[in-house]
Amino acid sequence: MEAGGDMLLPFAFEETLCRDVGAGLVQPSVHLWSHPGGVALGLRDSKLPRAAEAMAELEGKGYRTAVRHSGGAAVPLDAGVVNVSLLLRKSTGKLDFHDDFRLLASLITEAVAASHPQAAAQIRAGEVAGSYCPGDFDLAIGGRKFCGIAQRRQSSAYFVHAFVIVSGSGPERGQLIRGFYDTAADGDDALAYPRVIPQTLAALGELGGPAAAAVFAEGFRLALTRRGVHLQSAGQLRQTAGYSLQYADPRVLEAVRVLRERYAR
């Protein structure tokens, strides 16, 4: 679904849905969404010396900004970026978050393979130096990153989240985030923040993969189905299990308020 308006809405929706998954009110879930235009910051980003000024610059250019509660650093969100979250219950015993990262990475690879198998065969996992929001489970083709993965844990459930750059220009998005850090860090090289090299980023469409968000999203659904997962839409879930959660739900709106209060600079 497309998440217009407040950038924190989809994050608050997932926070609420995750609690319901942990409470057994709803089965483990998948959430796919895009935002028409914004930048989601990590908590460390928001504490850079001129972060407020850098955020104001982005807002002045038409990009909404928000500080997200999952791990990672600043990422652009727009209609060409598909956000994918797996919301899962915690199992008994020791949890290895690397297993969850590998699961989502493999599903994303299978989603690409559904329409562009040659591109999928070239996907590699590993940190891409110079990319924004770098991490051990960056996904790249030819050394250029198109996806990053983060995680958020609650007491009885958790979700693994990925942003997937499907269409548009990877370097242009990289330049946007580099500009944010140029202002926010105020030229202080002693500070810890990603040194973004725009050319390390690319969209799947620039790398021989699917070039439309809808094509990737359908590939992801197909990847889950091929693994034996029975998917129900929000409407079907409401009819069969009586469970409903919308962005406008009072619980979600309250979660927006809490997230903004807790993670505001």
| Distance separating the N- and C-terminal Cα atoms of the chain | 29
Question: Is the separation of the CB atoms in 52 and 265 below 8 Å?
Answer: yes
Please tell me the predicted confidence (pLDDT) of residue 3: 56
pLDDT band for position 95 (cuts 50, 70, 90) = low
* Positions marked active-site: 133
Q: Alpha carbon of 183 to those of 42, 54, 62, 164, 261: distances in Å?
A: 16, 5, 17, 26, 24
**Nearest-angstrom CA–CA distance, 129 and 102:** 20
For the chain, the structural domain boundaries read 8-260
Q: Residue 265's closest CA among 10, 9, 43? A: 43
Q: What is the pLDDT of residues 209-263, one digit of tens each?
A: 999 999 999 999 999 999 999 999 999 999 998 999 999 999 999 999 998 888 7
Which residues, in sequence order, are CB contacts of 192 under 8 Å at separation 6+? 44
Fold of the 8-260 domain: BirA Bifunctional Protein; domain 2 (3.30.930)
Residue 148 has pLDDT above 90, yes or no: yes
**Nearest-angstrom CA–CA distance, 74 and 260:** 16
Residue 14 has pLDDT above 90, yes or no: yes
For residues 131-151, give the mean pLDDT.
95
Please tell me the predicted confidence (pLDDT) of residue 261: 85
Q: Specify the long-range contacts of residues 24-28, CB closer than 8 Å, at least 24 apart.
A: 24/89, 25/243, 26/237, 26/241, 26/243, 26/245, 28/86, 28/87, 28/88, 28/89
Q: Report the relative pairing of strands 37-41 and 64-67 from DSSP bridges.
A: parallel
Percentage, residues of the chain above pLDDT 90 = 84
